[in-house]
Each structure stands twice: as C-alpha cells, then as structure tokens.
Amino acid sequence: MRLLAIIGASGHGKVIADIARKIGYSEIVFFDDDESIRECGGYPVIGKCTETGQIDADVIVGIGNSGVRKRIQESIPDGKLVTLIHPDAVIAEDTMIGEGTVVMAGAVINPGARIGRGCIINTCSSVDHDCKVGNYVHIAVGSHLCGTVSVGNGTWIGAGATIINNVSICPDCMIGAGAVVIKNIVEQGTYIGCPVSKMQG
C-alpha cells in the first residue's frame, strides 16, 4: 500500500496513524507547521503542511478544528485524499462517506446514512439510519445521532451528546458534551444542557 501523509501531528493524528497501520499502510509520515515537533506516535514529522504536495502519497488531514481542516483539505489536489475506516467500525453497505473523512474504532453507521467530506466520526459514536451529516462535521466520542437526523456543515457534536430522531441542526454549531437535542436548531451558536439551550454572550 502507498505512503500515507497525515497533516497535523497531534493526538488526533496519532489515532489516524493507528487506523492507517491497521488497514495496511506500511509507511506513515506527518506534516506539521510546528517545527519543534519531530515525531508523532512514533512516526516522523518530515515537513510543514504546505509541503505535503511535494511527495507521492495518500493524504488525510488530522486536525480537529473544522475550519482549519476545511481550509487545508480543500487545498489538496483531487485524487490524493483518502477516507480511513477503522476495521472495528460497523458501516452499513449503502452508506456514503466523503473524501477525507475518518471513522474511528467502535463507531456504527447504519443504513441510508450520508457522511460528508472531511468529517470525524469518533470512537464509539453512532450515526443511525438515514442521517445526513454535512462536510467537516465532528461527531465526538460516544455521541449518538438517532434516525433521520440532519447536521449542517462544520458543526461539532460534543462527547456523549444525543440528538433525537428527525431533528435538524444548522451549520457551524457546537453541541456541548452530554447535551440532548430534542428539537431543530436553526440559529448558529453553542448549545448545552438537557434539553439544550443556547449559550448567551
């Protein structure tokens, strides 16, 4: 299998490298703009993010911040981006998953789900039937989308959050850890609590 270049030498990048190794990548390198970082998870950091295009490799962006992830991913030439799925994730056969998305161990994606580009479907999270997850969304550790949920581009669903059936969340929201969403969210912002309410200020 080809060389894999991971942009972003971080904890998230380490998890991506572990997935890559498990699915057969024999050589993994990192790129990061912090010149003081020499290795990540035992793999070398060989250059800055802008230098990724100088090597012949598959590429994935290992950065948690959705805005930064989007900016970097959209600068990568077509054909170089890959999608990585942990072998212990459960993915329905008809699921569609966009380029640059990573699906972590224990995640479940059920029939009819559509996952956008550059998403993070994190450890032990679930996306149930017929959900639509936009681009650059992060479904954090242990969070759950019930059936027919729609999540707008760039939204972060916090660790342990639950989104009930048939709910829509607009783009660029942050749903707090452990939050419960029981109705549509139509205004950008940060939402916390059970059920959620928008943080003010």
pLDDT in tens, 160-179: 999 999 999 999 999 999 99
Q: Is the pLDDT of residue 78 over 80?
A: no
39-51 per-residue burial string, b: 16 or more CB within 10 A, e: under 16: ebbebebbbebee
Q: Is the pLDDT of residue 15 over 70?
A: yes
> Are 41 and 16 in contact, with CB atoms under 8 Å apart?
no
Residue 11 marked in a binding site: yes
Note whether 124 and 94 are same-domain residues.
yes
Closest by alpha carbon to 138, among 162, 113, 103?
103
Note whether 117 and 23 are same-domain residues.
no
Note whether 176 and 89 are same-domain residues.
yes
Q: Kindly name the residue from 41, 129, 171, 192 that is annotated as catalytic.
A: 129
Averaged over 56-81, what is the pLDDT? 92
CATH of the domain at 63: 3.40.50.20
Pairwise CA distance, residues 136 & 115, whole Å: 9
In a domain, 197, yes or no: no
Active site residue 129: yes
Residue 78 marked in a binding site: no
Quick check: pTM over 0.85? yes
Residue 32 marked in a binding site: yes
Residue 144 marked in a binding site: no
